[in-house]
Amino acid sequence: MKSLSEIETTAKRASKAAGFSWGESEEIGKCIRQLEMFGLPGITHLNSYFRDKEKNNYESLSLINQSNSSSNPYCPIILGIGFLDQLKIVENYEKIYFSSIAYPIIFLSFLSRSSEIIGKKINVKFDEKEIFLNLNVNIYSNFLNLEFPKNSKDIEINFIENKDNFNEDEWKSLYKLSENTFVEETDSLKKDAAGAGLTDND
């Protein structure tokens, strides 16, 4: 079994050989490592992408807006790197829409890393499929046992605002129970506290 370090290094070098800069290749390597760590077919899709990109006119997108449309599928790598670079701007959008993205699983890895950077969960919908990205810790999906498509249409990205999964009454109830572990401060505890009994000789 190949190590994650070996996967990242090989993906990075292969990306450089495929025409990407070293900086871009480093980002690709990180993303493929992450996909394989999550048990997703990163290597398979990267190989297929390299074979297809020479004969397909994948669109590059330099500036990401709330709604992005093109007659050709967007390149998942250029789009993913751009998404990371513009993260401080795009995270302010409630929703982001893309008309079509080639090899969306590769783009998902960039989104998962984005989730960790901004500290927000991200929900992605495409082709009636739904994926939940949780701070780059895990990826939930309703179709992980199905094959990822080479091209997806109508992609919608939603940033999920952080909030508690419990109400205030539930929190107060649990906190009240936790108070039973609090130790009441006594004169004895004060005397034994850190720094107590030290003599100042200055």
Residue range 108-150, pLDDT digits in tens? 999 999 999 999 999 999 887 888 888 887 676 666 556 788 8
Q: Return the half-sphere exposure (C-beta side, CA atoms, 13 A cut-off) of residue 88.
A: 1
Q: 49 lies in a domain?
A: yes
pLDDT band at 187 (very low <50, low <70, confident <90, very high): low
Identify the burial level of 165 via C-beta atoms within 10 angstroms of its C-beta, where 0-12 means exposed, 13-18 middle and 19 or more buried. Answer: exposed
pLDDT at 4: 93
Report pLDDT digits (tens) over 64-83: 999 999 999 999 999 999 99
Residue ranges making up the domain that contains 108: 4-160
Q: 178 lies in a domain?
A: no
Q: 93 lies in a domain?
A: yes
pLDDT at 57: 86
Q: 172 lies in a domain?
A: no
Q: pTM of the prediction?
A: 0.80
> Can you tell me the mean pLDDT for 26-32?
96
- Higher pLDDT, residue 85 or 145: 85
Find tokens 């670079």 and name the residue. Answer: 85
Q: 166 lies in a domain?
A: no
Q: 200 lies in a domain?
A: no
Q: 180 lies in a domain?
A: no
Number of domains in the chain: 1
22: phi > 0 → left, psi -120 to 50 → alpha, else beta; which?
A: alpha
193 pLDDT higher than 60: no
